[in-house]
Amino acid sequence: MQLDFTAQLREKRTRVTPSRLAVLSLLEKEKRPLSVEKIITAIGEDAIDYVTVYRTVTLLKELGLIRQIDFHHGHAHYELASLGDHHHVVCVKCDKVAEVARCNAKRMEQEILKESGFSTITDHSLEFFGICRNCSI
């Protein structure tokens, strides 16, 4: 899928680098949010360092290619923005993350705009926290 990522980076008028392609390819392969630490471990510390990953995820987020998610773990997680509108439920004991594919927030958009006085809603973030089945035993 690197050809698609190459085209996306060029469309955003930014340089195509091995680190940018590696991060995007990894997030596509994993299909789940990853922390910077997990990204480095998966790609390999010999291939990419912390500074490069932080700069890469910052740029990719600014370009709208990835989305940052806060699971209240003390560090951000990242996933491809192209995965579409979905949310997550996070176990507060073991940090297990499950995807919640259904999102009804878009249906509330007009009501939110009317109540808030805003002219546009560009994005939203909604994560759920609880205890998974394994931890509740």
Which residue type sits at 6? T
91 is in an annotated binding site: yes
Q: How confident is the model at residue 53 (pLDDT cuts 50, 70, 90)?
A: very high
The model's pTM is 0.77
- Banded pLDDT at 108 (limits 50, 70, 90): confident
Q: Is 132 annotated as a binding residue?
A: yes
Residue 61 tokens, joined: 């987020």
pLDDT at 1: 46
Q: How far is it, in rounded angstroms, from Cα 99 to Cα 102?
A: 9
Residue 80: which of 91, 92, 69 has the closest Cα?
A: 69
Q: d(Cα 50, Cα 122) in Å, to the nearest integer?
A: 30
Q: What are the tens digits of pLDDT across the range 61-100?
A: 999 999 998 887 778 899 998 877 778 888 888 888 888 8
Residue 3, pLDDT above cutoff 70 = no
In the 8-state DSSP scheme, what is residue 19?
H
Which residue ranges form the domains of the chain, and what is each CATH number?
1-82 (1.10.10.10), 85-137 (3.30.1490.190)
135 is in an annotated binding site: yes
124: annotated binding-site residue?
Answer: yes
